[in-house]
């Protein structure tokens, strides 16, 4: 088995990159999934720091950036996603950062000095987690969000309001309905200018404005791609000897009866495992209820399921208690739950969503009744 990766490090976990690792509170070797000895012992040949630049699906051959060619019987593409870039004037200035990989962290951390003015473009997971970390490191943080509320694509208004309040209470300035039109500075970014003409002084700009599936290698090789590499429920691409897994795939969700592309640790793990089994000749279906989490200050946001298509939201508990959840229903079927500092509802929801258990909305609205009993 050969593992090819553009990044020079042994495979590592990304979630701490915007949190403890950015804050300098986690040694780099704690990010690693496995140490070198594991790969040696299992005879995995590592090709790190080289990129797979060309895939010839007919000849079953992968060309690496150092000119070498590897021939395969089976191939698994785990290409991930890349940070969407700002396109406004000034986006190329020094001091404008994106956070996706280990190599991105060091320059950002260097800029996060006490009292440094950090302007974050995008109030999603990355933007808000980084804002929280920068405050923790003694910086001043401003978050500029285009929509009318933070995390608008992934949580309910009540949850957006709760997190915006938490951030403001810690000193983060959050501006919604605010579109960035220009970055200014002499070689290095000094100012972020918004559509309404207002501006913010910036020592560091960090843009967290979404990610794009890395599909170039696959599409150049003629594999079907459409917002991700198109795979079936067995993780197989349009070429029967090539599989794909993780953020780079557009795959069917049987549970939600539609195709999805997920940026999720759980999906990366589980689709990867399923793809590996199928690559070895098994016939295992990948069909998970996706879940996501985010840590911001001392708050943990846990989300399970996909809310799209719901016809009703039910709030359990109150934001004032700092522990509550929002349930998304379609009729009596639970589609998704977002739980704020409430692991019990989250864990119960994982099971109920997967089982498609019909719920009783009146019981559901009573936070004194356990979610698992709201049937």
Q: Which of 13, 65, 152, 238 binds other proteins (CB under 8 A)?
A: 13
| CB 312, min distance to other proteins, A | 24
Q: Which of 346, 353, 359, 374 is in the footprint of other proteins by CB under 8 A?
A: 346
Sheet holding 291-296, edge to edge: 291-296, 299-305, 333-340, 324-330, 312-316
State the pairing for strand pair 96-97/117-121: unpaired
Member of 269, 362, 365, 373 binding other proteins (CB under 8 A): 269
User: Is 76 in contact with 275 (CB distance < 8 Å)?
Assistant: yes
9 binds other proteins (CB under 8 A): no
The smaller minimum CB distance to other proteins, of residues 23 and 212, is found at 23
The DSSP-derived string for 87-146 is: -STTTTSBTEE--SSHHHHHHHHHH--TT-EEEEE--SHHHHHHHHHHHHTT-EEEEE-S
Nearer to other proteins, 14 or 259 (CB): 14
Q: Does 344 bind other proteins (CB under 8 A)?
A: yes
Contact 129, 295 (CB under 8 A): yes
Torsion of CA 21, 26, 32, 36, to 10 degrees: 130
Q: Which is nearer to other proteins, 12 or 243 (CB)?
A: 12
- Among residues 293, 332, 366, 375, the one that binds other proteins under rule CB under 8 A: 293
The smaller minimum CB distance to other proteins, of residues 265 and 369, is found at: 265
- Does 97 contact other proteins by CB under 8 A? no
Helix axis angle, 125-136 relative to 157-169, nearest 10°? 20
* Residue 102 binds other proteins (CB under 8 A): no
Size of the site for other proteins (CB under 8 A): 26
Could you tell me if 183 and 207 are in contact, meaning their C-beta atoms sit under 8 angstroms apart? no
| Minimum distance from residue 347 beta carbon to other proteins (Å) | 4
Residues 131-170 binding other proteins (CB under 8 A) are: none
Q: Is there binding between residue 287 and other proteins (CB under 8 A)?
A: no
Q: Does 25 bind other proteins (CB under 8 A)?
A: no
Residues 6+ apart with CB under 8 A from 267: 246, 247, 288, 290
Looking at 266, 287, 333, 366, which residue binds other proteins (CB under 8 A)?
Answer: 266
| Residue 33 in contact with other proteins, rule: CB under 8 A | yes
**Residue 11, interface with other proteins (CB under 8 A)?**
no
Q: What is the chain's length?
A: 375
Residue 227 sits at φ, ψ, to 5 deg, of 50, 60
What residues make contact with other proteins under the rule CB under 8 A? 13, 15-16, 30, 33-35, 38, 265-266, 269, 291, 293, 295, 300, 302, 341-344, 346-348, 350-351, 372
């Amino acid at each position: 088995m050969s593992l090819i990766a553009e990044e020079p490090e042994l495979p590592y976990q990304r979630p701490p990159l915007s949190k403890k690792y950015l804050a300098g509170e986690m040694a780099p070797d704690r990010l690693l999934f496995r140490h070198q000895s594991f790969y040696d012992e299992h005879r995995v040949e590592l090709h790190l720091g080289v990129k797979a630049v060309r895939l010839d699906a007919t000849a079953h051959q992968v060309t690496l950036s150092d000119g070498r060619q590897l021939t395969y019987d089976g191939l698994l593409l785990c290409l991930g996603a890349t940070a969407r870039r700002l396109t406004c004037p000034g986006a190329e200035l020094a001091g404008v950062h994106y956070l996706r990989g280990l190599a991105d962290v060091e320059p950002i951390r260097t800029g996060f000095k006490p009292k440094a003015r950090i302007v974050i473009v995008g109030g999603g997971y990355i933007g808000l987690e980084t804002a929280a970390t920068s405050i923790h490191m003694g910086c001043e943080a401003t978050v500029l969000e285009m929509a009318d509320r933070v995390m608008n694509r992934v949580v309910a208004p009540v949850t957006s309001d709760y997190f915006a309040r938490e951030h403001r209470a810690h000193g983060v300035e959050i501006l919604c309905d605010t579109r960035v039109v220009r970055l200014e500075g002499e070689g290095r970014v000094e100012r972020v200018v918004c559509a309404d003409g207002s501006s913010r002084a910036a020592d560091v700009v960090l843009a967290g404005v979404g990610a794009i599936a890395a599909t170039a290698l696959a599409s150049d090789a003629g594999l079907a791609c459409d917002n991700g590499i198109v795979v079936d429920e067995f993780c197989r691409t349009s070429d029967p000897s090539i599989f794909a897994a993780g953020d780079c795939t557009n795959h069917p969700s049987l549970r939600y009866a539609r195709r999805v592309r997920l940026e999720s640790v759980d999906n990366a793990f589980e689709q990867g495992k399923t793809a590996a089994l199928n690559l070895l000749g098994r016939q295992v279906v990948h069909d998970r209820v996706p879940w996501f989490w985010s840590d911001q200050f001392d708050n943990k946001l846990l989300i399970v399921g996909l809310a799209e298509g719901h016809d009703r939201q039910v709030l359990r508990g109150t934001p004032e208690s700092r522990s509550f959840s929002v349930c998304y229903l379609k009729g009596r079927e639970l589609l998704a739950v977002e739980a704020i500092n409430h692991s019990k509802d989250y864990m119960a929801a994982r099971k109920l969503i997967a089982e498609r258990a019909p719920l009783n909305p009146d019981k559901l609205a009573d936070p004194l009744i356990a979610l698992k009993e709201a049937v």
